[in-house]
Amino acid sequence: MDSDSVFGNVVRAPEDPILGVTVAYNKDTSPNKLNLGVGAYRTEEGKPLVLNVVRRAEQMLVNDLSRVKEYLPIVGLAEFNKLSAKLILGAESPAIQEKRVTTVQCLSGTGSLRVGGEFLSRHYHQLTIFIPSPTWGNHPKVFTLAGLSVKTYRYYDPATRGLDFHGLLEDLGAATEGSIVLLHACAHNPTGVDPTPDQWEQIRQLIRSKALLPFFDSAYQGFASGSLDADAQSVRMFVADGGECLIAQSYAKNMGLYGERVGALSIVCKTADVASRVESQLKLVIRPMYSNPPIHGASIVATILKDRDMYNEWTIELKAMADRIITMRQQLFDALSARGTPGDWSHIIKQIGMFTFTGLNSKQVAFMTKDYHIYMTSDGRISMAGLSSKTVPHLADAIHAAVARFG
């Protein structure tokens, strides 16, 4: 009997909806099963990919016998932090040159968001953060546990399967002055819908006029369009106006370093003095949380970013991943067109990044899982990276049947 346990009253928690998809997929014995739930890149053969440039960097690190396993400082590897800020803000960024940016190494994107959230809840005067509806499922949990109050702003329009730009402006326009606003830098998760450069400019003007504080989540730089600079434009626009902002960066997707947990939090401040005081307080957030970050993944990133040849090799491999996903979008769109599947499916090629918000409802998704062994989250989000030329026809057949059956 577990009633003897001091934990006997602990209730079983529900499974994480995204990770739960993988659990169900693993139990399925069908040879045709397909997992489109997981947010990780797969090759055309359906295998995880370690970039050649990452293997090369690791080999160099392993062969360098002068390297030791000592603790990093609380803020992490200095070289990694410097190179990460340059990657997102641009090599010539005045904010970096004026020493107005503090960057700390964190545990991938999630850890960067959490550290940023905890810093804000201790030191910022406005404890409300607006996140887009919908957004990544972990965002509300991370910010709530960091001590912020989470509200949403309209983002996605199911009718057009595009951006609800009017709703977005209206909701942010009505936000209390000084509120924090979470923005996906590019490749919005889960919808794959991004504002245009003109729309970003209008968002920037509104945010600055209301003195709202932008917090960017940059999980897909270079992975969305294939260009590191293009995918950083939204962030750079906000830094160029001299205003303040926070940026969480992850190297999970763009360097394939998922399990290494490599990320950075940058806070762009008005002056170098403020930036240095902010950094001193970030240390006080990090120290009791995990003392200091791990060394290996950050060393891989720094090795690649500081060497021109390796950096160029990385950009080629990164573009190849982005291009494969763009190709899968086109193939799926073509396959649905060829089948004459009812409805407009052009959003599949208009959306960007790892995910497509198909517009399929939970009934259709359940039908596709049961009859076609295709696994995805119940909101109809599919990971394009999980598709291949071989599996596109099977998915198109399933979507066609689901639309025919449930309209």
Sheet of strand 149-154, all strands in order from the earlier edge strand to the far edge: 101-107, 262-268, 245-250, 213-218, 180-184, 128-133, 149-154
Burial 220-256 (b: 16+ CB within 10 A, else e): bbbbbbbebeebbebbeebbeeebbbbbbbbbbbbbb
Task: Tell me which residues are annotated as active site.
Answer: 136, 217, 253
User: Measured between alpha carbons, how far is residue 249 from residues 26, 184, 253, 266, 295 in Å?
Assistant: 31, 11, 10, 8, 17
Of 310, 354, 32, whose CA–CA distance to 191 is shortest? 354
Rounded distance, CA 138 to CA 155, Å?
17
CA distance 113 to 96: 21
DSSP string, 246-259: EEEEE-TTTS--GG
Residue 344 burial by CB count (10 A; 0-12/13-18/19+): exposed, middle or buried? Answer: exposed
Identify the burial level of 388 via C-beta atoms within 10 angstroms of its C-beta, where 0-12 means exposed, 13-18 middle and 19 or more buried.
middle
Cα–Cα–Cα angle for 299, 318, 97, nearest 5°?
55
Q: Are 183 and 212 in contact (CB under 8 A)?
A: no
Nearest CA-CA partner of 218 in 198, 197, 245: 245
Q: How far apart are CA 318 and CA 228, in angstroms?
A: 9
User: What distance in Å separates the CA atoms of residue 193 and residue 155, rounded to the nearest whole number?
Assistant: 9
